[in-house]
Amino acid sequence: MNNKIAALRKKCGITQEELAAKCGVTRQTIIALEQNRYNPSLKLAHDITKTLGRKSIEQVFEME
Amino acid sequence: MLGKPHWFKRRKYGGWGLFPKTWQGLIYVIAVCAIFAAIQFLPLDAQTKMIVTILFAVVLVADVLDIMRRIPMDERERLHEALSERNALWAIIATLTAGIAFQAYISAASQTMQVDPIIIIALLAGVAAKAATNIYLDRKN
């Protein structure tokens, strides 16, 4: 699964630390997600989508 | 109970338990060591000293478990911990099984029973814990 977290996060002007705090995870998890090394749970994908101001998960995550 | 979860982090690379993260955590560790040492110098007989030491150890283990339970973990950290604990268990099972095989070989060679029942009990306890966990998880989700 690929994602656009890094690009969307920069567009929103928030840091990895802030995104991590808002989603209740560590910064390391955000780093792993941005580097496509970790597939999040549906809940975390949903939380990230909401935090990045997107309406659907597909706008942030895409299946390969 | 006594220690705060934000004083510590879970041990990842050096076994199980806690590692101090802040100066308060370091003070906690030093205090535990100081109390343990002080107990040994109390003017008590050996049996009473042993009982006090065991009581202190029980309180300490309960506190450590409570702190570990309250240290927040996100889903990735939880996954990593589950996988590392599983691998640790496989290593333990492999070692215990090899131990039983070795003891069985010695028993057969010497015609005497030399298999340690504690090892067998440990493996059976693992089987019971696995079954109980699966029953709980099957019912839960």
**Domains of chain A as residue ranges with CATH:** 2-59 (1.10.260.40)
Chain-chain contact of B75 with A32 (C-beta, under 8 angstroms): no
Interface test with B, best of A22, A36, A39, A41 (most B CBs within 10 A): A41
- pLDDT, tens digit (0-9, with 9 covering 90-100), for B64-114: 999 999 999 999 999 999 999 999 999 999 999 999 999 999 999 999 988
Chain B residues with CB-CB distance to A29 below 8 A: 74-77
Please tell me the distance from the alpha carbon of residue B80 to that of residue B10, in angstroms, as a whole number: 12
Which pLDDT score is estimated for B107?
94
B47: its two tokens:
């049996």
C-alpha–C-alpha distance, residues B76 and B73, integer Å: 8
Cα A47 to Cα A12, A19, A28, A63, B35, distances in angstroms:
15, 10, 16, 18, 46
pLDDT in tens, B114-123: 899 999 999 9
Q: What is the pTM of this model?
A: 0.82
* pLDDT score of A64 more than 80: no
Q: What is the pLDDT of residue A63?
A: 83
Confidence band of B141 (pLDDT split at 50, 70, 90): confident
Report pLDDT for B2.
Answer: 87
Query: What is the pLDDT, as a whole number, of residue B100?
Result: 94
| Residue A3 phi, psi dihedral angles, 5° rounding | -150, 165
Rounded Cα distance, B32 and A28, in Å: 32
All residues of chain A having their beta carbon less than 8 Å from the beta carbon of residue B10 are none
